[in-house]
Amino acid sequence: MGKTDKIVYKILSGLSDKNIAFADLVNLLLKFGFSVKINGSHHIFSREDVEEIINLQPKNEQAKPYQVKQVRELIVKYTLNVNSDE
């Protein structure tokens, strides 16, 4: 299981929302094909075929738990997949 798969598993399990690194969450969204605009500490992600926009900000190098939940809901709703194993 590659690093990306492990992060997706942690997010989907819902047991580690407080322990997801911000950089890992950003990289995952980029691998899902989202584009990012950065405005200060705000990282705004969008994708043409996804209705929602995700706005992430780091908290001590960690992703905020409610933002991890938002990403989880997108993964499930749109059945997002990564074509690469790393």
What are 20-73's pLDDT values in tens digits?
Answer: 999 999 999 999 999 999 999 999 999 999 999 999 999 999 999 999 999 999
pTM: 0.91
Segments in 1-86 forming alpha helices (H): 3-13, 22-31, 65-78
Contacts of residue 55, Cβ cutoff 8 Å, sequence gap at least 6: 42, 43, 44, 45, 67
